């Protein structure tokens, strides 16, 4: 159905456009002086001011691996995250945990865990899919490097960002 | 040949064009960005130097270092000529603007012509060639549209521009810009008739046509310099970048700077015709006559006053640009031919009637 | 300042030759503008500022812009390939030569040709040439001005009638 837009009938002074122009000029002038006096909210001056303190709790930054309270790496190299990752940024090479290890019951752990940060789209699917709650999106947001190789986060770097996380999954601990 | 005359002219040309106009062009770009930012509640360029004051240098360096790419399908000769043809007329017109009274007994104008405003219009009308040529030589559709639009726009608004200042010239009785300023210094600015001969019934009546001419003149200057709300030759939303779509590096910069130079000259002309040029209000420090010498410090003050007024008008240009939306093309043509042309003609007659009948 | 005269005279001539020789209409138009600019400079050197400026304002600034406007809208590719035939070249040379002969004959008989005139500026308290032209137009030549005005009005009305006529 066609919509009929009713055009307002302009008075003769409105047809001159001058009052409208003056009104518009007034608005811009008000904003101009307000900004000069620092009355308006303006952009964050990025390198000096940073988001760090203002990030919301649910912020999705760089993905990272975490250890549990016994310093065991939570990742069991199930490779679910590798499969779900839309841009295929994650590469995992699993290895078997030797039987003399304290955590031999877990059976698998990642030998290598690489996340290519050039590919990562910060979607958070890896975090959602992880049955062990081993991978989390942290608040690190300015990931930079001077080469492609530098932009790949290896396992060590991932644990460095992630650190230790207490609570939740405890099924691998000895039952008390 | 008069060598001192030549030497003085060269000094004035270098001093005005290279030491004042070109830096002003660079800094009006900076001002444009900062003021637009403030109007839109942003910050604007503030990184290079204190408050971003060195930004023009950084921009210039960037333009020089960028690759100067010439597309394969352009008509080479004209493609190379076009940027120069926009810059040259813009800078040529400042030859007749009186930018000060006198300094050490020397008139502060490069060429003291008796046809000042006509000279400005004549040279400004040549500036359309740069744009037309750029549009045509680029040999691609959007620049071509830009060039065609620019041509018809300039032709339309030149008429209104020329006719709008006729009432002023009738009142001043001279075409020499220096004498026009001297008259205003003694008898009140065209837009501030509050001293001298203007303080009479005739003066107040003449204010009506002068104000009408001012509005027509300013609007036409906006159209002539391709500034918003009349920047249809290069409007981004329709024509990518208009006539300079195919240009890069310093060639693009020349178009950009030529536009701002034209804006500065337009402001200079507006100041000279309507705001008393280098004169202070209420006849303060006004020289006795056009031939009288003034002390050097007064000369410096006059130069400062002139450029202060020019800067104010440039800020007005910027303010308008970031307040008003763009016109549609048929509206632009309608405004030029149907309203401004007729109003300007009627304005001339009105001025003549006042000049003859009111004593 | 004689050398300036030669520079601008050469500019005008080069422009004039360029108009004829160039095959690209846009180049021709620009050669014509060059020639107009040279001519304007010659007028200004004779202290005839108004005529010189009007030469630029009207011819270079308005009429040639319209010319270019039309040329740009046409397809000029087939113009560029065109060659001058024998008859057109010969005809052009004959016409130009005849014009040259007539002009030189007239100029030879013009006796004041080598007389040095006083510069316009040097005349005793001469008003600016704008004022002189204006006064002449509005007194001595008032009737011709009116007739030209009527002629222009008629042509304007004609254009409006032609362009507004509805096509059937």
Are the C-beta atoms of B245 and B239 separated by less than 8 Å? yes
pTM score: 0.79
Give the confidence band of C98 by pLDDT, cuts at 50, 70, 90: very high
Main-chain dihedrals φ then ψ at residue B107, nearest 5 degrees: -65, 135
pLDDT greater than 80 at residue A160:
yes
Question: How many pairs of residues across B and C have Cβ atoms under 8 Å apart?
Answer: 70
Is C6 in the same domain as C60?
A: yes
CATH number at residue C42: 1.20.120.1200
Give the confidence band of A163 by pLDDT, cuts at 50, 70, 90: confident
Is C39 in the same domain as C57?
A: yes
Give the confidence band of C139 by pLDDT, cuts at 50, 70, 90: confident
pLDDT greater than 60 at residue B166:
yes
Is C31 in the same domain as C44?
A: yes
Is C49 in the same domain as C109?
A: yes
Percent of chain B with pLDDT over 90: 0
Q: Which of B273, B101, B124 is nearest to B184 (CA)?
A: B273
Is C18 in the same domain as C97?
A: yes
Angle at which helices B249-274 and B55-65 pack, to 10 degrees? 140
Stretch among B183-192, B268-277, C85-94 having the lowest mean pLDDT: B183-192
B window 305-334, beta carbon within 8 A of A: 319-320, 322-324
CA distances from B156 to B29, B151, B210, B220 (A): 27, 9, 21, 9
CA B135 to chain C, closest CA, distance in angstroms equals 10
Percent of chain A with pLDDT over 90: 7
Angle at which helices C129-138 and C142-164 pack, to 10 degrees? 80
Instruction: Fill in the DSSP letter of residue B66.
Output: S
Question: How do residues B294-316 score in pLDDT, each as one tens digit?
Answer: 777 888 888 888 888 889 999 88
Using CA atoms, how far apart are residues B359 and C13, in angstroms rounded to an integer? Answer: 53
pLDDT at A169: 62
Is C158 in the same domain as C145?
A: yes
Quote the ipTM score.
0.77
pLDDT at B288: 72
pLDDT at B71: 82
Stretch among A35-44, B118-127, C4-13 having the lowest mean pLDDT: A35-44
CA B127 to chain C, closest CA, distance in angstroms equals 9
Using CA atoms, how far apart are residues C49 and B98, in angstroms rounded to an integer? Answer: 18
Segment B126-148 shows an average pLDDT of 83
Is C15 in the same domain as C35?
A: yes
Is C101 in the same domain as C161?
A: no
* Pairwise CB contact (< 8 Å): A31 & B41: yes
Give the confidence band of C79 by pLDDT, cuts at 50, 70, 90: low
Give the confidence band of C138 by pLDDT, cuts at 50, 70, 90: confident
Do B and A touch, 3+ Cβ pairs within 8 Å? The answer is yes
Give the confidence band of C81 by pLDDT, cuts at 50, 70, 90: low
Contacts of B145 (CB under 8 A, 6+ apart): B135, B238, B239, B242
Contacts of B89 (CB under 8 A, 6+ apart): B123, B124, B126, B127, B130, B262
pLDDT at B161: 86
Minimal Cβ distance to B38: which of A21, A27, A32: A32
Sort out which chain A residues have CB atoms less than 8 A from B229's CB and list them.
none
Percent of chain C with pLDDT over 90: 15
pLDDT at B206: 81
Say whether residue C26 is in contact with chain B using an 8 A CB cutoff.
yes
Question: How do residues B208-223 score in pLDDT, each as one tens digit?
Answer: 888 888 888 888 888 8
Say whether residue C107 is in contact with chain B using an 8 A CB cutoff.
no
Are the C-beta atoms of B302 and B123 separated by less than 8 Å? no
Contacts of B61 (CB under 8 A, 6+ apart): none
Q: How many CB atoms lie within 10 A of CB B164?
A: 28
pLDDT greater than 60 at residue C33:
yes
Structure-block tokens of residue C17: 């030759």
Percent of chain A with pLDDT over 70: 94
Of the two residues C117 and B7, the one the predictor is more confident about is B7
3-class secondary structure, C119: coil
Instruction: Fill in the DSSP letter of residue B340.
Output: I
In chain B, which residue ranges form alpha helices assigned H by DSSP?
Answer: 3-13, 22-39, 55-65, 76-92, 116-137, 141-164, 166-172, 177-187, 201-224, 236-239, 249-274, 296-321, 329-334, 341-357
Q: How many domains does chain C contain in total?
A: 2
Mapping DSSP onto H, E and C, the string for C51-106 reads: HHHHHHHHHHHHHHHHHHHHHHHCCCHHHHCCCCCHHHHHHHHHHHHHHHHHHHHH
Q: Which domain does C45 fall in, by range? A: 2-79+87-126
Is C68 in the same domain as C10?
A: yes
Question: How do residues A84-134 score in pLDDT, each as one tens digit?
Answer: 999 999 999 999 888 888 877 778 888 889 999 899 999 889 888 988 888
A window 37-56, beta carbon within 8 A of B: 40-43, 45
Using CA atoms, how far apart are residues A49 and A36, in angstroms rounded to an integer? Answer: 20
pLDDT at B212: 87
Instruction: Fill in the DSSP letter of residue B48.
Output: S
Sort out which chain A residues have CB atoms less than 8 A from B323's CB and list them.
21, 24-25, 27-28
Is C133 in the same domain as C117?
A: no
CA B326 to chain A, closest CA, distance in angstroms equals 12
Segment C35-62 shows an average pLDDT of 85
Is C11 in the same domain as C30?
A: yes
pLDDT at C124: 47
Give the confidence band of C152 by pLDDT, cuts at 50, 70, 90: very high
Using CA atoms, how far apart are residues A127 and A141, in angstroms rounded to an integer? Answer: 16
Give the confidence band of C97 by pLDDT, cuts at 50, 70, 90: very high
What are residue A153's DSSP bridge partners?
Answer: A115
Is C156 in the same domain as C119?
A: no
Domain ranges of chain B: 69-357
């Amino acid at each position: 159905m066609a919509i009929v837009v009713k055009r307002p009938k302009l008075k003769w002074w409105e047809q001159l456009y001058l009052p409208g122009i003056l009104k518009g000029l007034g608005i811009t002038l008000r904003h101009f002086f307000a900004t000069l006096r620092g009355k308006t909210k303006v952009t964050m001056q990025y390198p000096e001011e940073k988001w760090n303190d203002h990030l919301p709790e649910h912020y999705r930054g760089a993905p990272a691996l975490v250890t549990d309270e016994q310093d065991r790496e939570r990742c069991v190299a199930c490779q679910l995250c590798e499969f779900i990752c839309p841009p295929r940024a994650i590469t995992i090479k699993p290895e078997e945990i030797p039987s003399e290890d304290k955590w031999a019951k877990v059976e698998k752990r990642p030998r290598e865990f690489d996340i290519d940060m050039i590919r990562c789209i910060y979607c958070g699917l890896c975090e959602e899919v992880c049955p062990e709650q081993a991978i989390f999106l942290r608040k690190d947001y300015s990931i930079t490097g001077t080469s492609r190789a530098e932009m790949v986060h290896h396992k060590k770097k991932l644990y460095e960002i992630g650190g230790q996380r207490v609570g939740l999954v405890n099924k691998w601990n000895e039952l008390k | 040949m008069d060598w001192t005359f030549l030497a003085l002219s060269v000094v004035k040309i270098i001093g005005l064009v290279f030491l004042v106009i070109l830096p002003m062009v660079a800094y009006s770009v900076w001002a444009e960005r900062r003021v637009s930012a403030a109007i839109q509640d942003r910050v604007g360029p503030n990184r290079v130097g204190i408050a971003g004051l060195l930004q023009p240098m950084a921009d210039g360096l960037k333009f020089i270092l960028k690759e100067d790419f010439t597309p394969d399908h352009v008509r080479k000769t004209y493609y190379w000529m076009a940027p120069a043809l926009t810059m040259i007329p813009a800078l040529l017109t400042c030859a007749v603007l009186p930018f000060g009274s006198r300094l050490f007994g020397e008139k502060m104008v490069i060429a003291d012509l008796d046809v000042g405003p006509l000279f400005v219009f004549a040279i400004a009308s040549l500036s359309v060639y740069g744009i037309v040529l750029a549009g045509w030589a680029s040999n691609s559709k959007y620049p071509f549209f830009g060039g065609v639009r620019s041509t018809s726009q300039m032709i339309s608004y030149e008429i209104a521009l020329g006719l709008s200042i006729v009432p002023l010239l009738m009142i001043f009785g001279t075409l020499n810009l220096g004498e026009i300023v001297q008259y205003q210094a003694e008898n009140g600015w065209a837009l501030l008739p509050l001293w001298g001969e203007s303080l009479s019934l005739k003066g107040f009546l003449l204010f009506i046509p002068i104000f009408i001419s001012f509005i027509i003149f300013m609007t036409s200057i906006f159209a002539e310099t391709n500034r918003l709300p009349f920047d249809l030759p290069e409007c981004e939303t329709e024509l990518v970048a208009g006539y300079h779509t195919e240009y890069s590096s310093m060639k693009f910069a020349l178009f950009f700077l030529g536009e701002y130079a034209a804006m500065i000259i337009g402001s200079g002309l507006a100041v000279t015709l309507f705001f008393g040029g280098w004169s202070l209000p209420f006849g303060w420090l006004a020289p006795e006559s056009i031939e009288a010498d003034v002390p050097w410090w007064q000369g410096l003050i006059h130069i400062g006053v002139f450029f202060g007024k020019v800067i104010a008008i440039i800020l007005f240009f910027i303010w308008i640009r970031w307040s008003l939306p763009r016109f549609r093309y048929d509206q632009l043509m309608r405004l030029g031919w149907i309203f401004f042309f007729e109003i300007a003609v009627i304005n001339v007659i009105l001025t003549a009637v006042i000049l003859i009948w009111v004593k | 300042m004689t050398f300036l005269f030669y520079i601008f005279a050469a500019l005008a001539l080069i422009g004039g030759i360029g108009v004829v020789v160039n095959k690209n209409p846009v180049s021709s138009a620009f050669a014509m503008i060059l020639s107009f600019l040279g001519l304007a400079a010659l007028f200004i050197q004779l202290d005839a500022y108004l005529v010189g400026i009007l030469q630029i304002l009207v011819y270079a600034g308005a009429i040639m812009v319209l010319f270019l406007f039309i040329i740009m809208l046409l397809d000029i590719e087939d113009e560029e390939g065109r060659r001058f035939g024998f008859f057109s070249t010969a005809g052009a040379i004959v016409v130009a030569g005849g014009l040259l002969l007539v002009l030189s004959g007239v100029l030879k008989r013009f006796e004041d040709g080598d007389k040095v005139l006083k510069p316009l500026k040097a005349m005793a308290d001469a008003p600016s040439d704008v004022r002189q032209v204006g006064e002449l137009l509005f007194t001595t030549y008032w009737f011709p001005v009116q007739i030209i005005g009527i002629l222009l009005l008629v042509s304007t009305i004609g254009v409006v009638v032609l362009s507004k006529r509805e096509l059937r």
